[in-house]
């Protein structure tokens, strides 16, 4: 009963029935499009989830390798290598840029890493990376730098995937809420409204049919009465004509009959 009472408050007319049907078509089309969008976002969501799992697995190996390379560099070059590196580097050579990727109408942030040529080649404020630690343990310092650059690349990729994952999760929740609202609230309400309007129009049509049937019955009885009167009048006219041909009118015959019925005082029966 609650579903039957869920309808829009409208006037049951043919025009409103057309409007409701158009709204139902639009709601059905929107529901289908949102359902396809939700499916596309879900597929992308699962693909990103697989990439995140693979990136986290590779991150563990990469971070372990970078930590070991740092320990080796400190062992070979000594603890003072940190000051040498800080003095030779003034700007980061690995940088991150962001852009957006459109997936089914949802803009996903993407982060990509790139190497700044000026900083990598030892610009005006940086020394050449190949000369860092040249006096002692330069090879291990270079290996440590390469390992940490690889770790940064993995971290940037993981950050991009994680941000896209959260954005897609929120978009899927919003889209599913809209799909459920259209499927469970909007469409049933419009369908109940259309059923209500059709029922009211059918009731009006039955009332009009009953009214027309009553009017036709009245007209038929009136015609029959008029035809009976016409036949009676025609019979009376025919009787009048026959009486005139015989030399006495119907009225005179009626008077004679009436006079014969009176009592005569001279005649004793």
Q: Is residue 238 part of a domain?
A: no
Tell me whether residue 47 is in a domain: yes
Whole domain around residue 157: which residue ranges?
14-190
Domain at 157, CATH number: 1.10.287.3240
Mean pLDDT, rounded, of the chain: 79
Structural domain contains residue 261: no
Cα–Cα distance for residue pair 236/76, rounded to 1 Å: 145
Alpha-carbon distances of 233 from 225, 230, 249, 255, rounded to whole Å:
12, 5, 16, 20
The pLDDT confidence band at residue 23, using thresholds 50, 70 and 90, is very high
Q: Give a yes or no: residue 244 inside a domain.
A: no
Residue 84: what pLDDT? 63
Task: Classify residue 113: in a domain, yes or no.
Answer: yes
pLDDT tens, position by position, 160-194? 899 989 999 999 999 999 999 999 999 999 999 99
3-state secondary structure 188-219: HHHHHHHHHHHHHHHHHHHHHHHHHHHHHHHH
Q: What domain count does the chain have?
A: 1
pLDDT, tens digit, 9 for 90 and up, residues 230-256? 888 888 888 777 777 776 555 555 555
Tell me: the pLDDT tens digits for 85-124?
666 666 777 788 888 888 888 888 888 877 776 655 555 4
Q: What are phi and psi of 113, to 5 degrees?
A: -100, 150
């Amino acid at each position: 009963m609650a579903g039957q009472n869920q309808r829009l408050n409208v006037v049951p007319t043919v025009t409103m029935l057309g409007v409701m049907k158009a709204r139902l078509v639009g709601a059905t089309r929107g529901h289908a499009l949102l359902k396809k969008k939700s499916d596309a976002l879900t597929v992308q969501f699962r693909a990103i989830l697989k990439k995140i799992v693979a990136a986290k697995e590779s991150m563990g190996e990469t971070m372990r390798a970078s930590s070991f390379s740092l320990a080796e560099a400190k062992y070979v070059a000594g603890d003072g290598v940190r000051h040498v590196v800080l003095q030779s580097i003034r700007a980061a050579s690995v940088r991150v840029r962001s852009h957006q990727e459109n997936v089914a109408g949802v803009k996903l942030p993407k982060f990509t890493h790139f190497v700044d040529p000026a900083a990598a080649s030892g610009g005006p404020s940086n020394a050449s990376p190949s000369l860092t630690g040249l006096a002692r343990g330069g090879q291990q310092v270079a290996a440590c730098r390469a390992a940490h650059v690889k770790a940064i690349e993995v971290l940037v990729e993981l950050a991009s995937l994680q941000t896209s994952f959260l954005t897609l999760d929120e978009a899927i929740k919003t889209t599913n809420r809209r799909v459920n609202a259209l499927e469970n609230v909007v469409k049933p309400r419009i369908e109940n409204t259309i059923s209500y309007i059709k029922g009211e129009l059918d009731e009006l049509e039955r009332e009009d049919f009953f009214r027309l049937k009553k009017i036709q019955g009245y007209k038929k009885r009136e015609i029959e009465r008029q035809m009976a009167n016409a036949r009676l009048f025609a019979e009376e006219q025919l009787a009048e004509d026959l009486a005139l041909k015989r030399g006495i009118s119907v009225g005179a015959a009626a008077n004679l009959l009436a006079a014969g019925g009176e009592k005569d005082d001279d005649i004793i029966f």
